Amino acid sequence: MLKKSKIFFGFIHFLILRIASFILINFNILFKKNNCFLFVDIDNTIALTWQSLNEKKFKTERERILNIKVNNKVKIKIDEICLNYNIYPIYISVRPLYTYFITRKWLKINFFKLNSSNLILVSSPDEKYKIIYKLMKYNKKIFYFDDLSYNHENGKTLFYQNTIDKIRTLNIDYFDYKFINSI
């Protein structure tokens, strides 16, 4: 019975994320007359998340998330693009749905540009690709900051190579792991 309820709630979580991302993206397309989109990953891109995963000083996951340090060099580059193109970034991250409000709070605390429709949580890196791919039909310039990496906390950085390969086939300005770590 426990396994069935986990599957059911996992499916509900997946559905909510899909519906929310569809609504948020379409809101941005229909009501904002921007010529471009700026997608920004959170973990290990603008947030130095992996370092906090090994720290034992936090009593709760909420406390850990609120104390994640900012990658200020990437933040400056994102702010520069926002200013030059007069846009708000769309933060897109693989995180559980229950972290939505604490993620928004972290963004606000750390002075990231935030509005009512620019945070999307997805269940896999490939979902990020699918969202960006669907936007290609609107012929708008797309900037995308994402390291697409994992496992840092275990001493060996690994990559979502299949997703990276698909992203690189798109006609977008993709700022990858190498770029993020070079600035």
CATH of the domain at 36: 3.40.50.1000
Give me the chain's average pLDDT, please: 86
Number of domains in the chain: 1
- Are the C-beta atoms of 39 and 90 separated by less than 8 Å? yes
At residue 63, the pLDDT reads 93
The region of weakest confidence among 13-27, 69-83, 112-126 is 13-27
Q: Which amino acid is at 133?
A: Y
Show the DSSP H helices in 136-176 as ranges: 161-168
- pLDDT band per the 50, 70, 90 thresholds, residue 39: very high
Rounded CA separation 23/144 (Å):
20
Look at residues 150, 154, 132, 143 and name the one whose alpha carbon lies nearest to residue 54. 154
- Are the C-beta atoms of 68 and 102 separated by less than 8 Å? no
Full residue range of the structural domain in which residue 99 is found? 2-182
At residue 97, the pLDDT reads 86
Kindly report the pTM of this predicted structure: 0.83
Q: Helix (H, G, I), strand (E, B), or coil: what is residue 47? A: strand
- Are the C-beta atoms of 125 and 177 separated by less than 8 Å? no
**Sequence-distant (≥ 6) Cβ neighbours of residue 117 within 8 angstroms:** 24, 27, 28
